[in-house]
Amino acid sequence: MSSDTFNLGIVENDEPFREEVIRRLRGLPSARKVTGWPSAEQFLRDPAHKSIDVLFLDIMLSGVSGIELVRDLSEKYPDMRVVMLTNMNSDAMVFDSIKNGALGYILKSELGNLAEIVEVLGRGGATITPTIALRVFSSFRRVPGAEAPELTDRERQVLSLMVKGKSIGSVASFLGLSDHTVHGYVKSIYKKLNVHNRAQLASKAQELSLM
Protein backbone atom coordinates (compact mmCIF):
# COMPACT_ATOMS: atom_id res chain seq x y z
CA MET A 1 0.00 0.00 0.00
CA SER A 2 2.07 2.91 -1.28
CA SER A 3 -0.45 5.63 -2.17
CA ASP A 4 -0.28 9.00 -0.43
CA THR A 5 -4.03 8.89 0.13
CA PHE A 6 -6.32 6.13 1.34
CA ASN A 7 -9.93 5.00 1.19
CA LEU A 8 -11.02 4.96 4.82
CA GLY A 9 -14.01 3.31 6.42
CA ILE A 10 -15.67 2.76 9.78
CA VAL A 11 -18.17 0.10 10.87
CA GLU A 12 -19.75 1.34 14.10
CA ASN A 13 -23.31 1.01 15.45
CA ASP A 14 -23.09 4.08 17.71
CA GLU A 15 -24.25 6.71 15.21
CA PRO A 16 -22.96 9.85 17.01
CA PHE A 17 -19.53 8.29 17.51
CA ARG A 18 -19.47 7.01 13.92
CA GLU A 19 -20.35 10.42 12.50
CA GLU A 20 -17.72 12.12 14.66
CA VAL A 21 -15.02 9.74 13.44
CA ILE A 22 -16.15 10.21 9.83
CA ARG A 23 -15.98 13.98 10.27
CA ARG A 24 -12.46 13.76 11.67
CA LEU A 25 -11.29 11.32 9.00
CA ARG A 26 -12.60 13.54 6.19
CA GLY A 27 -10.42 16.34 7.50
CA LEU A 28 -7.23 14.33 7.02
CA PRO A 29 -4.94 15.15 4.06
CA SER A 30 -4.43 11.39 3.59
CA ALA A 31 -8.17 10.71 3.18
CA ARG A 32 -9.19 10.02 -0.43
CA LYS A 33 -12.69 8.85 0.49
CA VAL A 34 -14.41 8.11 3.81
CA THR A 35 -17.41 5.80 4.20
CA GLY A 36 -19.31 4.61 7.26
CA TRP A 37 -21.61 1.67 7.94
CA PRO A 38 -23.73 0.83 11.03
CA SER A 39 -23.26 -2.95 10.83
CA ALA A 40 -21.04 -5.68 9.41
CA GLU A 41 -23.94 -6.88 7.29
CA GLN A 42 -24.43 -3.49 5.60
CA PHE A 43 -20.68 -3.16 5.14
CA LEU A 44 -20.48 -6.51 3.35
CA ARG A 45 -23.51 -5.75 1.16
CA ASP A 46 -21.94 -2.53 -0.11
CA PRO A 47 -19.57 -3.18 -3.05
CA ALA A 48 -17.56 -0.12 -1.93
CA HIS A 49 -16.20 -2.12 1.03
CA LYS A 50 -13.78 -3.92 -1.29
CA SER A 51 -11.83 -0.71 -1.96
CA ILE A 52 -11.21 0.21 1.70
CA ASP A 53 -7.54 0.57 2.64
CA VAL A 54 -7.89 1.29 6.36
CA LEU A 55 -10.99 0.22 8.30
CA PHE A 56 -11.96 1.22 11.84
CA LEU A 57 -14.10 -1.59 13.22
CA ASP A 58 -16.25 -1.70 16.35
CA ILE A 59 -15.90 -5.00 18.22
CA MET A 60 -19.35 -4.94 19.85
CA LEU A 61 -21.54 -4.96 16.76
CA SER A 62 -25.02 -6.47 16.83
CA GLY A 63 -25.34 -9.38 14.41
CA VAL A 64 -21.93 -10.30 12.98
CA SER A 65 -19.34 -9.23 15.55
CA GLY A 66 -16.25 -7.19 14.84
CA ILE A 67 -13.99 -10.16 15.53
CA GLU A 68 -15.99 -12.33 13.15
CA LEU A 69 -15.76 -9.63 10.48
CA VAL A 70 -12.02 -9.02 10.84
CA ARG A 71 -11.45 -12.77 10.54
CA ASP A 72 -13.39 -12.81 7.26
CA LEU A 73 -11.67 -9.70 5.92
CA SER A 74 -8.16 -10.92 6.72
CA GLU A 75 -8.84 -13.97 4.55
CA LYS A 76 -10.56 -12.21 1.65
CA TYR A 77 -8.69 -8.89 1.62
CA PRO A 78 -5.23 -9.37 3.19
CA ASP A 79 -4.16 -5.85 2.15
CA MET A 80 -7.00 -4.19 4.08
CA ARG A 81 -5.71 -2.77 7.36
CA VAL A 82 -8.19 -3.14 10.22
CA VAL A 83 -8.04 -1.37 13.57
CA MET A 84 -10.50 -2.44 16.26
CA LEU A 85 -12.45 0.16 18.24
CA THR A 86 -13.80 -0.72 21.66
CA ASN A 87 -14.80 0.48 25.10
CA MET A 88 -13.42 -2.74 26.59
CA ASN A 89 -9.83 -3.52 27.50
CA SER A 90 -10.40 -7.27 27.68
CA ASP A 91 -7.20 -9.30 27.27
CA ALA A 92 -9.14 -12.04 25.52
CA MET A 93 -10.64 -9.65 22.97
CA VAL A 94 -7.26 -8.02 22.32
CA PHE A 95 -5.60 -11.32 21.52
CA ASP A 96 -8.58 -12.65 19.56
CA SER A 97 -8.57 -9.49 17.44
CA ILE A 98 -4.86 -9.73 16.71
CA LYS A 99 -5.04 -13.48 16.10
CA ASN A 100 -7.81 -12.91 13.54
CA GLY A 101 -5.99 -10.24 11.56
CA ALA A 102 -6.43 -6.84 13.26
CA LEU A 103 -3.42 -4.53 13.06
CA GLY A 104 -4.67 -2.09 15.67
CA TYR A 105 -6.65 -2.08 18.90
CA ILE A 106 -7.82 1.27 20.21
CA LEU A 107 -10.05 2.30 23.08
CA LYS A 108 -12.68 4.74 21.87
CA SER A 109 -11.80 7.02 24.76
CA GLU A 110 -8.18 7.07 23.54
CA LEU A 111 -8.78 7.50 19.81
CA GLY A 112 -6.13 10.21 19.74
CA ASN A 113 -4.32 11.30 16.58
CA LEU A 114 -6.25 9.83 13.66
CA ALA A 115 -3.78 11.20 11.12
CA GLU A 116 -0.95 9.29 12.78
CA ILE A 117 -3.04 6.12 13.13
CA VAL A 118 -3.99 6.18 9.43
CA GLU A 119 -0.41 6.85 8.33
CA VAL A 120 1.00 4.04 10.47
CA LEU A 121 -1.58 1.51 9.27
CA GLY A 122 -1.52 2.74 5.69
CA ARG A 123 2.24 2.28 5.53
CA GLY A 124 2.06 -1.29 6.77
CA GLY A 125 2.51 -0.77 10.51
CA ALA A 126 0.34 -1.54 13.51
CA THR A 127 -1.01 0.54 16.37
CA ILE A 128 -2.26 0.02 19.89
CA THR A 129 -3.28 2.58 22.51
CA PRO A 130 -1.17 2.87 25.70
CA THR A 131 -3.77 1.42 28.07
CA ILE A 132 -4.14 -1.67 25.92
CA ALA A 133 -0.39 -1.95 25.33
CA LEU A 134 0.18 -2.03 29.09
CA ARG A 135 -2.32 -4.87 29.49
CA VAL A 136 -0.72 -6.82 26.64
CA PHE A 137 2.75 -6.55 28.16
CA SER A 138 1.39 -7.30 31.63
CA SER A 139 -0.23 -10.48 30.37
CA PHE A 140 3.18 -11.85 29.42
CA ARG A 141 4.49 -11.11 32.91
CA ARG A 142 1.48 -12.58 34.70
CA VAL A 143 2.22 -15.29 37.23
CA PRO A 144 0.70 -18.57 36.00
CA GLY A 145 -2.58 -19.23 37.74
CA ALA A 146 -6.12 -20.02 36.81
CA GLU A 147 -6.57 -20.46 33.09
CA ALA A 148 -9.36 -18.50 31.44
CA PRO A 149 -11.95 -20.80 29.84
CA GLU A 150 -12.41 -20.70 26.09
CA LEU A 151 -15.43 -18.51 25.28
CA THR A 152 -16.83 -18.03 21.81
CA ASP A 153 -17.01 -14.53 20.29
CA ARG A 154 -20.75 -14.41 20.93
CA GLU A 155 -20.33 -15.59 24.52
CA ARG A 156 -17.84 -12.76 25.09
CA GLN A 157 -20.35 -10.26 23.70
CA VAL A 158 -23.08 -11.60 25.99
CA LEU A 159 -20.68 -11.65 28.96
CA SER A 160 -19.71 -8.02 28.40
CA LEU A 161 -23.32 -6.87 28.28
CA MET A 162 -24.34 -8.99 31.28
CA VAL A 163 -21.51 -7.60 33.42
CA LYS A 164 -22.69 -4.10 32.49
CA GLY A 165 -26.05 -4.97 34.07
CA LYS A 166 -28.06 -5.52 30.90
CA SER A 167 -31.13 -7.74 31.18
CA ILE A 168 -31.60 -10.86 29.06
CA GLY A 169 -34.15 -8.96 26.97
CA SER A 170 -31.79 -6.01 26.46
CA VAL A 171 -28.93 -8.30 25.45
CA ALA A 172 -31.21 -10.14 23.02
CA SER A 173 -32.44 -6.88 21.49
CA PHE A 174 -28.93 -5.43 21.12
CA LEU A 175 -27.50 -8.55 19.50
CA GLY A 176 -30.55 -9.30 17.36
CA LEU A 177 -31.16 -12.65 19.05
CA SER A 178 -34.10 -14.29 20.79
CA ASP A 179 -34.37 -14.35 24.59
CA HIS A 180 -34.17 -18.15 24.42
CA THR A 181 -30.88 -18.01 22.51
CA VAL A 182 -29.37 -15.53 24.96
CA HIS A 183 -30.48 -17.74 27.87
CA GLY A 184 -28.52 -20.55 26.23
CA TYR A 185 -25.38 -18.42 25.99
CA VAL A 186 -25.74 -17.29 29.60
CA LYS A 187 -26.13 -20.88 30.78
CA SER A 188 -22.99 -21.87 28.86
CA ILE A 189 -21.01 -18.91 30.26
CA TYR A 190 -22.05 -19.68 33.83
CA LYS A 191 -21.00 -23.30 33.36
CA LYS A 192 -17.63 -22.45 31.82
CA LEU A 193 -16.83 -19.89 34.53
CA ASN A 194 -18.30 -22.07 37.29
CA VAL A 195 -20.44 -19.23 38.70
CA HIS A 196 -24.06 -19.08 39.82
CA ASN A 197 -25.05 -15.39 39.82
CA ARG A 198 -24.13 -12.04 38.30
CA ALA A 199 -21.96 -10.93 41.19
CA GLN A 200 -19.84 -14.07 40.86
CA LEU A 201 -19.85 -13.63 37.09
CA ALA A 202 -18.46 -10.09 37.27
CA SER A 203 -15.85 -11.09 39.84
CA LYS A 204 -14.68 -14.12 37.86
CA ALA A 205 -14.56 -12.18 34.59
CA GLN A 206 -12.35 -9.57 36.24
CA GLU A 207 -10.16 -12.20 37.90
CA LEU A 208 -9.54 -13.96 34.58
CA SER A 209 -9.06 -10.67 32.66
CA LEU A 210 -12.04 -11.45 30.46
CA MET A 211 -13.21 -7.84 30.81
Task: List, for residues 144-175, the tens digit of each pLDDT value.
Answer: 555 667 888 888 889 888 888 888 888 998 88
Task: List, for residues 48-66, the tens digit of each pLDDT value.
Answer: 999 999 999 999 888 888 9
E strands within the chain? 6-11, 31-37, 54-58, 81-86, 104-107, 127-128
- The per-residue pLDDT of the chain, averaged, comes to 85
Q: Name the least confident of 12-16, 124-128, 139-143.
A: 139-143
CATH 3.40.50.2300 fits 6-141, yes or no: yes
Q: What is d(CA 191, CA 209) in angstroms, rounded to the nearest whole number?
A: 17
3-state SS of 106-139?
Answer: EEHHHCCCHHHHHHHHHCCCCEECHHHHHHHHHH
Tell me the average pLDDT across 108-118.
Answer: 87
Q: Residue ranges of the domains in the chain?
A: 6-141, 153-207
- The pTM of this model reads 0.68
User: What is the reported pLDDT for 211?
Assistant: 58
Neighbours of 55 (CB within 10 A): 26
CB contact at 8 A, 1 and 123:
yes
The larger pLDDT score, comparing residue 125 to residue 134, is at 125
Fill in the amino acid letter for 6.
F
Q: What topology is assigned to 153-207 in CATH? A: Arc Repressor Mutant, subunit A (1.10.10)
User: What is the reported pLDDT for 203?
Assistant: 78
Fold equal for 6-141 and 153-207: no
